[in-house]
């Protein structure tokens, strides 16, 4: 029997929203495991080996970290309807535009306005995760610049929609819409009045936002975090050992490595390479709660080092 799609997320997570929209486009049925919004995450870390961010996708004993790779894996397993109707790789690049450029502006816009109301333990957690401090004052100071940035990047989207198309690439929604949707969704969930203000100038973007929102999330049922750990323990990974003839650093299956994000939440995850390619690296590791699992990471935006 095929394993269920188990999705570790929480409702307010914008990166999770990308994947939930992908589930909606493909009308998938999935299990939702709601994880904490701050550390500790005692039922997530045994699965990932230290990766603390959300979302994480679990298919049996295969664990996929980062929305970039999760979207790719969903597309691979459930190709119809495609997330890349135009069959190009460019939308993956747009992920970096949304995740780094616009997200930074959205965070400042939101927390510059509500930063004073954020609980102390959340601030401490996010400061530790980013290796700095979480200063409501600094975010407030950044707001004017970030509103300018947010507007400028929204104009790119408005230009794309100018000819009256329904979605980024034409009449079908896809990956580019998913990336472009994340930040307006985030601002809208935290500060609906601000989201409205940021889109007032862009009626076509506003209409597009409602169209993407109407796609929904497919269908889901909750699963407890403990049950997800038990699924991993019962299952065997479906990943196969494969040599990567083009690895620029000559890495090979069996090499012991540590993988970490290159931006924030950089906790290294150690394991042995199972396979790797230009998009992905999969490492084998084990923990008492889950037995042997294979944890998959994207290559773009991640650092692989020998241990």
Ligand X SMILES: N[C@@H](CCC(=O)N[C@@H](CS)C(=O)NCC(=O)O)C(=O)O
- Angle (CA) 47-293-15 rounded to 5° is 45
When the beta carbons of 54 and 178 are compared against ligand X, the nearer one is 54
When the beta carbons of 48 and 68 are compared against ligand X, the nearer one is 68
Q: Within positions 58 to 97, which residues make up the interface with ligand X, using CB under 6 A?
A: 66-68
When the beta carbons of 71 and 284 are compared against ligand X, the nearer one is 71
Query: Closest separation between CB of residue 84 and ligand X, Å?
Result: 18
Query: Closest separation between CB of residue 233 and ligand X, Å?
Result: 24
Q: Is 53 in the site for ligand X (CB under 6 A)?
A: yes
The dihedral formed by the CA atoms of 146, 147, 150 and 154, expressed in degrees to the nearest 10: -170
Applying CB under 6 A, among 21, 22, 25, 54 the residue interacting with ligand X is: 54
Q: Is 302 in the site for ligand X (CB under 6 A)?
A: no
When the beta carbons of 38 and 242 are compared against ligand X, the nearer one is 38
Distance between CA 229 and CA 45 in Å, rounded?
10
- Angle (CA) 34-268-228 rounded to 5° is 25
Binding-site size for ligand X (CB under 6 A) equals 14
Q: Is 14 in the site for ligand X (CB under 6 A)?
A: yes
Q: Within positions 161 to 190, which residues make up the interface with ligand X, using CB under 6 A?
A: none
Query: Closest separation between CB of residue 99 and ligand X, Å?
Result: 6
If one counts every other C-beta atom within 10 angstroms of the C-beta of residue 19, the result is: 25
Backbone angles phi and psi of 174, in degrees to 5: -155, -165
Which residue stretches of the chain are H helix?
Answer: 14-25, 45-48, 67-77, 90-96, 103-114, 120-129, 136-161, 175-190, 192-199, 203-215, 225-234
When the beta carbons of 7 and 167 are compared against ligand X, the nearer one is 7
**Which parts of this chain interact with ligand X (CB under 6 A)?**
13-15, 37-38, 52-55, 66-68, 99, 129
């Amino acid at each position: 029997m095929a394993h269920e799609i188990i999705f570790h997320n929480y409702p307010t997570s914008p990166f999770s929203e990308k994947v939930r929209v992908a589930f909606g486009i493909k009308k998938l049925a999935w299990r939702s495991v709601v994880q904490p919004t701050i550390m500790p995450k005692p039922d997530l870390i045994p699965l990932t080996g230290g990766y603390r961010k959300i979302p994480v996708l679990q298919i049996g004993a295969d664990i996929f970290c980062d929305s970039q790779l999760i979207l790719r894996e969903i597309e691979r397993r459930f190709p119809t309807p495609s997330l890349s109707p135009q069959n190009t790789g460019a939308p993956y690049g747009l992920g970096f535009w949304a995740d780094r450029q616009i997200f930074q502006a959205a965070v400042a816009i939101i927390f510059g306005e509500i930063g004073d109301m954020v609980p102390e333990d959340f601030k401490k957690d996010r400061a530790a995760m980013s290796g700095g401090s979480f200063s409501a004052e600094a975010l407030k100071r950044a707001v004017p610049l970030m509103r300018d940035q947010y507007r400028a990047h929204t104009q790119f989207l408005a230009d794309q929609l100018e000819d009256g198309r329904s979605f980024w690439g034409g009449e079908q929604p896809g990956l580019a819409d998913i990336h472009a949707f994340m930040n307006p969704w985030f601002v809208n969930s935290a500060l609906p009045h601000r989201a409205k203000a940021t889109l007032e100038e862009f009626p076509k973007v506003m209409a597009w936002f409602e169209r993407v929102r109407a796609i929904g999330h497919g269908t889901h049922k909750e699963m407890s975090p403990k049950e997800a750990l038990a699924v991993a323990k019962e299952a065997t990974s479906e990943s196969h050992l494969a040599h990567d003839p083009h690895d620029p650093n000559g890495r090979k299956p069996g090499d012991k490595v540590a993988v970490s994000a290159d931006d924030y939440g950089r906790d290294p995850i150690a394991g042995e390479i199972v396979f790797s390619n230009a998009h992905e690296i999969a490492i084998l590791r084990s923990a008492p709660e889950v037995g042997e699992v294979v944890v998959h990471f994207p290559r773009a935006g991640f650092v692989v080092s020998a241990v």
